[in-house]
Structure formats: structure tokens, C-alpha cells
Chains A and B, each alone.
Chain A
Amino acid sequence: MTSLEADLEALLGRESVTPAAEGTGGTPPTPTARPRSAEALAEVLALANSRRLAVLVRGGGTKSGWGRAPGRCDLVIETTALNRLLEHEPGDLTCVAEAGLTLGELQRLVGGAPGHHQRLMLDPPQGGGATLGGVVATAASGPLRARYGTPRDLLLGARFALADGTLARTGGKVVKNVAGYDLGKLLTGSQGTLAVIVEVALRLHPVPPASRWVVAEGVGPPTAQVTLTALRRAPAVLSMAELLWPEGTLLARLDGAPSACEQQAEIVRALVPGGRVAGESEAEELARMIERRPWEGEGPVLGISVPLTRIGELMALAAVGGPVAQLSLRGTVGAGEARLWAGADPAQFAAQVADLGGYVSWHRGGGQDAPPLQPLDPVAARLAGSVKQALDPHSTLAPGRGPA
């Protein structure tokens, strides 16, 4: 046992520390600390910080490969023992939970309150086992963002630990609040490089009583473009609009009162060439189609955003036999929030996407040495550096990692 492991055990107890030798935590193997309280987590951080160790924070481990890979790691802090739902007042449609609670467990807890079927309207990839802290730290979202937005829109407040062990709060637990800086937005998507999130307050929504799917097959770039533009202006609120490409499948979902769902599904169907309203028995299979991501496994994945009006062109770039072969897109194209993910060889792609007015970043597989695909605004980069320096002056938290 190393002296670090002994000190961690003294702080947290033997059951909360996995020594490096039993190595689950990274390459080379590093010890893992699993503190049971925010205060204990802060103490571990302070200890690591004072010894100039590099710390990686992990929740459910479902998005460890996202963003740039960290340069080094001496200690993994896992938040999974911080897993309590602290408050849920159904009448407020809000909840406060510890960061290590999984999204799946939260949905179960807030979904089952008597008379109130509520939900956190986030459906990121591998969502069930993801922790709330991890979802926020990676700004992970899924198809529902078309209607409900991303973690930045649903996070009301947070408690977090700075690298030196300072515990602090931002925001609150009410849905409307402009007191002080909105550090919650800064932490959202910061990938554990600025602070360790230990608690989150989130906005919930009621589970809509009914849903209807509209499906179309054989949708090519020109049709997709025209249809998406038309859908944006149609009198129908899409909870999601997903495009599977190169399969050419467009999936749209409408949620709400049963009669409203029916009518809106009909409006959408009429706008989508070849569209049909799916039967209720198909709903599960359609949801699974969206869940399936061809790039699960190894290899680099890109995050791509383009303006709504350029989605057809992006599809053309990504078509089989098109300029960039073997590219597979999944995307939330509803609500004008076009975000398409692609599994591909990145290098040739970035410039073409830039020409469309969009951007490409490493969603996964951007190693330490991978060059940024698109340059960040230099002054914004300098400000980002100042913020990192101010909050984590010794670069204790995931050095080298970060959203890019």
C-alpha cells in the first residue's frame, strides 16, 4: 500500500478506497476514493491538491472517454457513494440530489411520487447508469433537448468543491433566480476540470399523459432539409426529431394531452413525405432505434453542430459514397438545435463543416496529442485559461482534459 492509499484510508475508511493494485481506475492503475459525504470528498481533494496530485472525477463512468483525454491521473475520486435524493417537492417541480445519484434512479424516485409523475427531461446516451454530476459535467443531452433544452437549461443550482477543498454553492433551488454569477452554467460541460460537483438542484417536468410517433423512411438530404424547416414552423411541438443517417429514417415524437397528440401527429405526418403515424405497439422499438448508436465501442467520435438550414448539406457530406465515406450520423434535428454526432475519420471533415457555418469537436477519442479540430476564439481561450487558473491554480483537476 502506498502512503497515499494509507492516508485515504485514514480519511475515508478502508471500504471507501480501492488501492491501485486492484486497479480499476485508469492506466497506469491509480487508487480510487469513494467518499460518502461532500465534506469527505472535499478533504480528499484538499489532500491531493496539497500534494500536487492529478485527480480525475468519475460518476457512473459512462462518459469517461468524452472530451480531451487527461494528461495524467494519480487519483480517481468516484462520486457514486453520494447518491441520495435530498429534496423533492412535487408541487415545485424541482429536486435536489447528490451528484452521484444515477439518472435512472432519480427518474424512478421522482416518477413515482403519488399523483405526480415527474421526470428530469434529459435523455443522454447511456443515461440510466450515468450520474447526475456526470451528466451536468459533460453537458450530456439527447433527443429531448429539442423541447426541453440541455443540462444548462435545467440546472437550478449546484454545490461543488474546488480543488483546494473549498465547498461552495451557486444558484438555488427555485426556478427563477438571478442572484450572483451563474456558476452552474460554467460547471456544466466543464468535464470535471474546474470543480467537483457534489450536489445539484434540477428543474423537473410532468410526464406527458400521451405520446405519438411519426416515422418516415427513405428520407434523403433535400427532403430532410425541406421537411425540417417546415416542421419548425408547423403548429406542433416536437419533443424530439431524430435523423438516422445514412439509413434515411426520420423519427419525430409528440407528447401531451391525448387529443392534442393525435392532432399534432396528423399535422406532422402530412408534412413529412412518406410519413406515417406509428402504432402504440411500435413505440418501444422506435425508442430503441434512437438509443442504438453505431459507434459504441472504440474509435473516435465527433460532435458536430450546424445551422438548421445546412443539415441537408451535412447529410450529403456524410452520405455513403459521398465525399466522406463511412460516416454515420445521429442527431437531434428538432427545434432547430441540430446536433449530429458522427463516427468517422475527423481530419478531412472539420473544414467542410466549418464551411457550413458549424463546428466539429472531439466528442470522444481526442487523445492528448490530437490537435483541436477547430480553433477556439483566442480571447475566449485566454479567458477560459484565467478561469481555470483562478479556480484550480495547481491544475489538480483533470489536467489536460476539458471541452474542446
Chain B
Amino acid sequence: MDRIPAQLDQESLDALRRAVGSRWVLTDPDQLRTYECDGLTGWRAVPLAVVLPSSTEEVVQVVRICHRAQIPFVARGSGTGLSGGALPVEDGIVIGLSRMRQVLRIDLDNERVVVQPGVPNLEVSRVVAPFGYLYAPDPSSQRVCSIGGNVAENSGGAHCLKYGFTSNHVVALTLVTTEGEVAHLGSAVPDSLGYDLLGVVVGSEGTLGIVTEVTLRVLPVPQRVQTLLAAFPSTDAAGEAVAEIIAAGVLPAAIEMMDRATIEAVEFAMHAGYPDCGAALLVELDGPQSECEALFGQVVEICRRCGASEVRVAEDEAERALLWKGRRGAFSAMGRVSPDYYVQDGVVPRSQLARVLAGIRELEGRHSLKVANVFHAGDGNLHPLILYDRRSPDGPERAKRLAEDILSLCLEAGGSLTGEHGVGRDKVCQMPKLFSPNDQMVMHLLRRAFDPGGTANPGKVLPTPRLCGEHPGIYRPHPLELSGAAQRL
């Protein structure tokens, strides 16, 4: 579908200003540049305008204006996403939700908190912490990233091994549809009426509408948390320990792995005091004291049996923070040892970890680039950091190819394109590697049911010939499409 406006027509611009107030409609090129990318800075586009509504009603008005004039829009939270999901479109506007950052209701006896989408993830835990509760999903950008963004990407985090993802913790939400209507999906009580539309909106990367209010499930803080760091001679040995822990029926809150390259970078950058070893595992158990203690001994024993030369147990909260410090700071530490890096986000079945890590080592050699691995080992979610130098003539290109090869390796092992960062713009053209034309067509049908005009975050999630070229395998018209019953966005 061709879109008309190369610039915003005056009528729409005036209407937007009336809807949210002139000072909340940004059109100055310098201001617009602030919004040209999200956390994935390789993709950039300057939008026609940025609109900053402060309420569901204002979002409704803004979306209605877009609907009327067929202006594409991209919803944006804090802009920390790593797949270009909030990358603007040049012929559209950005709807920034950062002014909508109120915690609306707290009902701890029912374990519910209602927030606006701009509320930072960590803020939810912060407001309920004094009462002994927490919000479980903890993406590493949690200080900054917004709940709205978490809903869009179905964000995970280190502790989702035990607690699940955003979709397991969002029980209801308010969705402004692409036509500017307000839908209430889900329910604060268990289960709800009708189809589970909530379930598809979470993780839909802003393509099905704009979420303006979210009801979250919060949990009582576990009685006990126990954390250890185990040093292994190799990632193989550490991987074996992971497999044994899982097979033993232990479900830790988190199992994180760091390879030698990561440990060295972390030591260089922040002196976390990590042991000098081939791979380190950070294992955290939480729950009732009785359960933690019963299982913790088992985990220590498994680590030793799998060749751990050292097992450090955090004795208090300060020591626990120290053990986590290196893991949490691993990405930024990489910035100190390499001019540039690209974070890949792939998933493999847990039983394939060792095989895929070996494959990544082989790819490092073939592409003559270094890869540091730091990842959520418990659920097989790899985050290989591909280190490169953008000033070297083919640096970025080689890094990109290596990243794609790693992804292919994950898929060959039966895994997925993305475990928590989303498809966004970054992986849209790789969707056909995982999903057949039919699979994609069904997703298109769903998208069109929510967004008949194709204005919500176009160019994200689902590949089109325009985005990805016309090579075969990407696009094949579906019978419904040929019959005119459906249309591709």
C-alpha cells in the first residue's frame, strides 16, 4: 500500500496540537533527531513529528487523527528496545508515552498494580517493595525501560526462567485500537471472557494498537534468596552443569553464563573480582527458606561434580550484589574492550547449548571476529556479543553476517530468532527463516483484523517485499488474499 503524506498536512498538525497541546507536538528537526532510533542505533529514521499525549483520551484523539489522514504511527516508550521496534517511519509520527507515567492503583491483597505505559519497569517493584512485593520481569534495562515497551516486546529478563515473561504477569490492559476506539482486554481476576486477545497484544510490538493502561500481577518477595558463582574450565563444563541442574528438577530463579571473553571484559572494566576461568555460572535460587536450602546444596554439588574449580556463595545482600554486578554490567563492559559490538538474541533448546556454543566458536574463526557470550543459560537464550570496529572498512558488514550465521545456527538447532528483544525492524527479513509463507500469512490476517488501515508501526515484525526484496520464499499470496477477502499490509 502506498502512503501519501511525505509531510504532515497542516490540518492534521493543527488537530494534533489541539489534541495534546502545542508544546507536546515536536516538529523541530533537532528535537526530532532525539527520537530517530531506539536502543538499536544502527537503524535510524526521522519522523514527521513526535506527539506526547498524557492520557488515554489524548491517545485516542491522536490515533483518530492518524486514522483519518492515514498517517502511520510508531508508539514509543523509553526507547531502550534492541530490535528497532520503536524505529520511526519517515512518513509518520512517533507517539511517545513517556508522559504517561503514573501508578494508578495498588491492590496488594489481590496482588495487582495498575500503571500507565510510561512507568519504568523498576518503578513497579519500587512502589510495592515496602509492602513485601515485587514485579517479576526484570529486563536488564529495567531502570529505564517502560512497562508499555515491556508489553510490546513481551520482555523477559534474568529471572524469567522461574517466573515467566511479561505475558505471564499482565492480566489486563487498555488498548487504543488503530481506529481510535478503547478496548479493555483481559481481566484483573483469573481468566476472562471471550478470546484471549490480551495474549496476542502482549508481544505484538506496537502493531495492533497502543496500550495505555496495564494491570500487572505482583508477587510476594520470596522469603530467601541464595546466589552462587561457580568457575568452570570451559563453557562445555558449565553447560553440562546447567543441564544437570534442570534435569534434577531444580528450577532456579536465574542461571546466567559468562564465557572467558566476557569475564575478562568485566574484570577490565569494573573489577568485579570474578575468578579467572573458562566460564562462570551465576545461579540464584529463591523461595521459602526450607526449599531454597534443600535445593541449594544440590546445586553446589552438581557444580562441583561438573568440574567447578571454585564455588562462591553470597553470604549477604552486599555479596549478592557483587556477584550480579559483573553480569549486569557485562554489555557496558564490552564497550570498554571493543569499539563496537552487536548483541544477538537467539534461543536454542537447552540440550543444544554446548553444540551451538561450539558452533559459535567455529564461526568466530571463519569471520575473524571475536564473540563474547553472556546469556540466560537456564532457558537457552543466547546473547552473543559480536565485537567489531565500525571504522574498519567491512567491520559492520562482517559483524552483521556473523550475527546472521549465529542465528541460523540457533534455528538449525530447533531454536528461535529472538528470545526477548523482539523482531522489530532488525529481524523482520529473517522471519522467513523461522516461519513459512503460510505462518506469516496467518499473522498478516491477524494484524489486519486489528489494523485494517496498516497505520500501526508499519514495517515491523512481518516481512513484505518492499522491506526485504522480492526473493522467493518471502511472499506468496494466500487464497484469501487472491479472493479479495484479505489484503497484505
Give the one of A115, A172, A403 with max B CB within 10 A: A172
Taking Cβ atoms with an 8 Å cutoff, the residues of A that contact B are 89-94, 115-116, 139, 145, 149-150, 152-153, 162, 164, 166-170, 172-186, 188-190, 194, 205-209, 229, 232-233, 235-237, 256-257, 259-260, 262-264, 267, 303, 305-309, 336-339, 357-359, 361, 374, 376-377, 379-384, 386-387, 389-391, 393, 402-404
Please indicate the chain B residues that have their CB under 8 angstroms from the CB of A149 in the complex: 164, 168
Q: Check B4 for interface membership: any CB of A closer than 8 A.
A: no
**Which residues from chain A contact B269 at a C-beta distance below 8 Å?**
none
Report Cα–Cα, A181/B207, bound state, in Å: 10
Q: Which residues does chain B contribute within 8 Å of A206, judged by CB atoms?
A: 247-249
Q: Which of B192, B224, B380 is A359 in contact with, Cβ under 8 Å?
A: B192
**Residue of A116, A177, A358 ringed by the most chain B CB atoms within 10 A:** A177
Compute how far the CA of A175 lies from the CA of B381 in the bound complex, rounded to whole angstroms: 9
- Please report which residues of chain B, range 220-267, place their CB below 8 angstroms from some CB of chain A when the two chains form the complex: 220, 222-224, 243, 246-249, 251
**Most chain B C-beta atoms within 10 Å of own C-beta, residue among A167, A181, A264, A376:** A181
Q: Is the CB of B450 within 8 A of A386?
A: yes
Whether A152 lies near B449 (C-beta < 8 A) is: no
Q: For residue B200, give the distance in angstroms from its CB to the closest CB of chain A.
A: 5
Q: Which 4 A-B pairs have the closest CB atoms?
A: A185-B199, A206-B249, A263-B290, A235-B223
A-B contacts besides A181-B446, A391-B445, A403-B194, 6 pairs, CB < 8 Å: A92-B351, A175-B350, A181-B200, A186-B200, A263-B290, A336-B217
Whether, in the assembled complex, B409 has its beta carbon less than 8 Å from a beta carbon of chain A, the answer is no
Interface size class of B (residues with CB under 8 A): 35 or more
Closest chain A residue, CB of each to CB of B111 = A336
**Interface status of B385 (Cβ within 8 A of chain A):** no
Instruction: Give the distance in Å from the alpha carbon of A312 to the alpha carbon of B423 in the complex.
Output: 45
Decide if B418 touches A305 in the complex (CB within 8 Å).
Answer: no
The interface residues of chain B lying within 8 Å CB-to-CB of A308 are 109-111
Are A186 and B196 neighbours in the complex by a CB distance under 8 Å?
yes
Instruction: Give which listed residue, A306, A393, A404, contacts B194 with CB less than 8 A.
Output: A404
Which residue of A116, A169, A237, A361 contacts B288 across the interface (Cβ within 8 Å)?
Answer: A237
* Contact A339 B190, CB 8 Å, known A170-B439, A403-B195: yes
Decide: A384 near B195, CB < 8 A? Known: A89-B349, A176-B380: yes
* Pair B435/A169 contact, Cβ less than 8 Å: yes
Closest to A267 in B: B288
B393 at the interface (CB under 8 A from A): no
Q: Which residues of A contact B470 (CB under 8 A)?
A: none
Nearest chain A CB to B318's CB is how many angstroms away? 23
Least CB distance from B412 to A in Å reads 13
Binds A, one of B13-21, B48-56, B320-328, B477-485: B477-485
Known A183-B443, A185-B199: A361·B438 in contact at CB below 8 Å: no
Is B132 located at the chain interface by the 8 A CB criterion? yes
CB distance from A166 to the nearest CB of B (A): 5
Give residues in B with beta carbon < 8 Å to A: 107, 109-111, 132, 153-154, 156, 160, 164-165, 167-168, 177, 181-185, 187-200, 202-204, 217, 220, 222-224, 243, 246-249, 251, 287-291, 293-295, 347-351, 376, 379-381, 414-423, 427, 431, 434-436, 438-443, 445-450, 452, 461-462, 478-480, 485-486
Chain A residue with minimal CB distance to B353? A91
Cβ contact of B110, chosen from A208, A263, A307, A390, cutoff 8 A: A307
Closest to B204 in A: A181
Q: Do the beta carbons of A384 and B351 come within 8 Å of each other?
A: no
Question: Which residues from A are CB-within-8-Å of B246?
Answer: 91, 93
Residue in contact with A172 in the complex, picked from B198, B223, B416, CB distance below 8 Å? B416
B residues in contact with A386, CB < 8 Å: 449-450, 452
Across the interface, do A208 and B249 meet the contact criterion of CB distance under 8 Å?
Answer: yes
A186-B446 in contact (CB<8A):
yes
Interface contact A257-B423, CB-CB below 8 Å: no
Give the docked Cα–Cα distance between A190 and B461 (Å): 24
Q: Do B294 and A180 touch across chains, with their CB atoms under 8 A apart? A: no
By the criterion CB–CB under 8 Å, are B203 and A229 in contact?
A: no
CB nearest neighbor in A for B221: A233
Known A91-B243, A181-B203, A381-B194: A387·B446 in contact at CB below 8 Å: yes
Q: Are B289 and A235 in contact (CB under 8 A)?
A: yes
Given A91-B351, A180-B439; A189-B294 close (CB under 8 Å): no
- Please name all residues of chain B whose beta carbon is closer than 8 Å to the beta carbon of A267 when the two chains form the complex: 288
Given A361-B193, A391-B445: A383 and B291 interface contact (C-beta under 8 Å): no
Contact between A176 and B156, CB atoms less than 8 A apart = yes
A and B contact pairs by CB, cutoff 8 A, 8 listed: A91-B243, A92-B380, A178-B421, A235-B290, A236-B288, A336-B190, A380-B184, A383-B450
- Selected contact of B291 from candidates A180, A256, A307, A377, CB within 8 Å: A256
Output the least CB separation between B291 and chain A (Å): 4
With A263-B290, A390-B445, A393-B485 in contact, do A189 and B195 touch (Cβ < 8 Å)?
yes
Give the contacting residue for A186; candidates B110, B195, B247, B287; CB below 8 A: B195
The docked-state distance in angstroms from the alpha carbon of A104 to that of B447 is 36
User: A179 to B434, Cβ gap below 8 A?
Assistant: yes
Q: Would you give the shortest CB distance from B286 to chain A, in whole angstroms?
A: 11
Q: How far does the alpha carbon of A391 sit from the alpha carbon of B486 in the complex, in Å?
A: 10
Task: Provide the residues of chain B in CB contact with A170, threshold 8 Å.
Answer: 439, 442-443
Given A93-B246, A185-B199, A235-B223, check contact A173 B414 (CB 8 Å).
yes
**Contact assessment for B190 and A338 in the assembled complex, using a CB-CB cutoff below 8 Å:** yes
Q: Which residues of A contact B183 (CB under 8 A)?
A: 377, 379-380, 383
Query: In the assembled complex, which residues on chain A have CB atoms less than 8 Å from the CB atom of B291?
Result: 237, 256-257, 260, 264
- Report which of B185, B293, B295, B447 forms a contact with A181, defined as CB distance below 8 A: B447
B197 touches A186 (CB 8 A): yes
CB nearest to B486 among chain A residues:
A390
